[in-house]
Amino acid sequence: MSLQISRITNLCYIINDKSEVLLVLKKRGFGQGKWNGPGGKVKSNELPIQAVVREIKEEVGLEIFDPLELGYIEFIWPKGLEDYNQRCFVYLVNKFLGEVKESEECLPKWFPINNLPYDQMWEDDKYWYPQALEGKPIKKRFYFDADNKIIKFEEIES
């Protein structure tokens, strides 16, 4: 069975010198009302790393430096929702300039790494956030049902 990947996206976990990670509360669209890492879609003329730099500036007003690519996660949806299927490149950053600001898309907030609002995040996050925040490589695939609940997940073999 070949998977149809409709979108290439990115997420970035920015960690400050107080061991806090920047999350954003999505204000509109897919994922509205959930906390997540800032990021977004990769445009057709961009590499994922270029897109993450642009998206962070647009969404939260920070200029990031030396993003470390940890790998990617594939999110797979059921028949009829395949347009949401995506490969999401995950980045970790601890060098940045600027002040965090709210945008039309999201409300940013710093959270202690050891006290994340998992009950207000995507269900899959608890399975890979700790690994990402430690800077460990990630290659996972999550399958969701029409109610955004995980059916199964697996490690992606290289």
The CATH number of the domain where 27 resides is what? Answer: 3.90.79.10
Q: Is residue 140 part of a domain?
A: yes
Q: According to DSSP H, which parts of 79-147 are helical?
A: 125-133
Pairing of strands 138-144, 20-26: unpaired
Q: Is residue 2 part of a domain?
A: no
Q: Is residue 54 part of a domain?
A: yes
Cα separation, 150 vs 140, in Å, equals 13
Q: Is residue 75 part of a domain?
A: yes
Q: Is residue 1 part of a domain?
A: no
Is the CB of residue 36 less than 8 Å from the CB of residue 26?
A: yes
For the chain, give the number of residues. 158
Give the pLDDT mean for 85-109. 95
**Residue written as token pair 């669209």:** 29
Instruction: Count the domains in the chain.
Output: 1
Question: Mind listing the pLDDT tens digit for each residue in 15-70?
Answer: 999 999 999 999 988 789 999 999 999 999 999 999 999 999 999 999 999 999 99
Instruction: Flag whether the pTM goes above 0.95.
Output: no
Q: Is residue 92 part of a domain?
A: yes
Q: Is residue 149 part of a domain?
A: yes
Is the CB of residue 22 less than 8 Å from the CB of residue 109?
A: yes
Residue 69 sits in which domain range? 7-155
pLDDT at residue 71, as a whole number:
96
Q: Is residue 11 part of a domain?
A: yes
